[in-house]
């Protein structure tokens, strides 16, 4: 990734799952990397995620909602990866305030900071499949109606729309990646509130029984985190991507219960049983979700390269080695 060599790059939310994996790739590519992270409790930030590159990254503890900090952080950056967010679907339905505050107002704080001091910067926004809610058809392309079924999805949709508006307001060069279910190293493993596939792997590794809600036959489409990182790097580089949103998705969909069986297979332990949906989960279940990724293939030149089998092997290996930092 010669594009990033010597470039000033900022990751907002860089201590979390996708952000920190992206940080490793950017350091390797020779970027001059800064990270801002609020280190909100239980939100996925983990200092160990920068293990091996910590001395090559400037890390500032600051919240995306802090205008002074954002104005300072975005100044003079060539590319900003905006990955900060409240990401629990369930929490957003129990108590909408934090989600609304981070995922709508916080986005405006960041964008206003850019408008003030770096108005035409490239910003890659981390969107989500939750923007589509229970999709009206699959595979889901970028024209599929966006009718979120949780507060999180509404707020992330608003955040994405804000980004594209700032192109009009001040020339900002925004791109959105609507991220699908992503798994891999450096995900938080303390609870199932986001990235459930990661937490279930922990349960399997600990030899526990996994509860599959309902029949588990809903289709899921997974990406190994390295593939997602590649998509972010390409989105940050390509000018053709400006003003565009792209769905991400994996090589082959599988059912949720098939995924659980694979987690157990690669963990070498654990089991599962079917249980009825808890009401709070039933409300936000999207049903089948399979992404149509042709737009990302065509415009970003992106391809998911890591098979689920290879990805799960690497993931199991990582958490076996470093579980004291995550479990």
Phi, psi at residue 314, to the nearest 5°? -60, -40
CA distance 62 to 144: 35
Q: Residues 311, 219, 267, CA angle at the centre, nearest 5°?
A: 35
Part of the chain binding a second copy (CB under 8 A), chosen from 101-109, 211-219, 268-276, 291-299: 101-109
User: Which residues between 165 and 204 bind a second copy (CB under 8 A)?
Assistant: 165, 168-169
Q: Are strands 57-61 and 209-213 parallel, antiparallel or unpaired?
A: unpaired
Per rule CB under 8 A, is residue 148 in the interface with a second copy?
Answer: yes
Using the rule CB under 8 A, which residue among 21, 100, 223, 247 binds a second copy?
100
Using the rule CB under 8 A, which residue among 283, 305, 313, 323 binds a second copy?
283
Per rule CB under 8 A, is residue 117 in the interface with a second copy?
Answer: no
Using CB under 8 A as the binding criterion, the count of chain residues that bind a second copy stands at 27
Per rule CB under 8 A, is residue 158 in the interface with a second copy?
Answer: yes
CB of 266 to a second copy, least distance (A): 35
Crossing angle of helices 106-117 and 67-74, rounded to 10°:
50
Q: What is the torsion angle, in degrees rounded to the nearest 10, for the CA atoms of residue 147, residue 104, residue 113 and residue 46?
A: -100
Per rule CB under 8 A, is residue 277 in the interface with a second copy?
Answer: no
Part of the chain binding a second copy (CB under 8 A), chosen from 15-23, 80-88, 154-162, 224-232: 154-162
**Whether 205 contacts 267, CB under 8 Å:** yes
**Whether 38 contacts 87, CB under 8 Å:** no
CA distance 114 to 226: 28
Tell me the DSSP string of 112-155. HHHHHH-TT-EEEEEEEGGGGBS-SSSSB-TTS--B-SSHHHHH
CB of 165 to a second copy, least distance (A): 6
Using the rule CB under 8 A, which residue among 1, 39, 75, 96 binds a second copy?
96
The SS3 of residue 182 is strand
Per rule CB under 8 A, is residue 325 in the interface with a second copy?
Answer: no
Q: Report which DSSP code applies to 48.
A: G
Cβ-based nearer residue to a second copy, 133 or 250: 133
CB of 69 to a second copy, least distance (A): 17
Per rule CB under 8 A, is residue 279 in the interface with a second copy?
Answer: no
Per rule CB under 8 A, is residue 276 in the interface with a second copy?
Answer: no
Q: Which residues bind a second copy (CB under 8 A)?
A: 93, 96-97, 100-101, 104-105, 108, 112, 143, 145-151, 154-155, 157-158, 161-162, 165, 168-169, 283
């Amino acid at each position: 990734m010669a594009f990033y060599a010597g470039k000033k790059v900022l990751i907002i939310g860089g201590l979390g799952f996708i952000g920190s994996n992206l940080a490793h790739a950017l350091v390797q590519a020779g970027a001059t990397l800064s990270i801002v992270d609020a280190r909100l409790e239980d939100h996925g930030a983990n200092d160990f995620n920068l293990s091996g590159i910590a001395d090559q990254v400037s890390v500032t503890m600051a919240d995306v909602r802090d205008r002074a900090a954002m104005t300072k952080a975005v100044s003079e950056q060539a590319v900003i990866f905006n990955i900060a967010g409240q990401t629990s679907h369930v929490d957003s339905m129990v108590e909408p305030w934090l989600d609304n505050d981070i995922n709508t107002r916080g986005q405006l704080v960041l964008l206003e900071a850019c408008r003030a001091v770096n108005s035409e910067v490239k910003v890659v926004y981390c969107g989500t499949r939750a923007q589509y809610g229970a999709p009206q058809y699959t595979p889901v392309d970028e024209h599929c109606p966006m009718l979120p079924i949780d507060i999180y999805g509404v707020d992330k949709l608003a955040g994405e729309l804000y980004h594209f508006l700032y192109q009009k307001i001040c020339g900002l060069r925004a791109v959105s990646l609507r991220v699908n279910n992503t798994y891999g190293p450096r995900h938080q493993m303390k609870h199932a509130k986001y990235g459930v596939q990661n937490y279930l792997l922990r349960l399997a590794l600990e030899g526990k029984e996994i509860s599959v809600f309902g029949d588990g036959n809903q289709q899921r489409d997974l990406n190994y985190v390295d593939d997602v990182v590649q998509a972010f790097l390409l989105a940050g580089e390509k000018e053709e991507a400006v003003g565009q949103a792209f769905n991400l998705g994996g090589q082959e969909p599988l059912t949720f219960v098939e995924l659980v069986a694979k987690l157990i297979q690669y963990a070498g332990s654990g089991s599962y049983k079917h249980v009825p949906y808890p009401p709070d989960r039933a409300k936000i279940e999207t049903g089948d979700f399979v992404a149509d990724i042709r737009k990302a293939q065509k415009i970003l030149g992106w391809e998911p390269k890591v098979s689920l089998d290879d990805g799960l092997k690497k993931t199991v290996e990582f958490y076996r080695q470093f579980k004291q930092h995550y479990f």
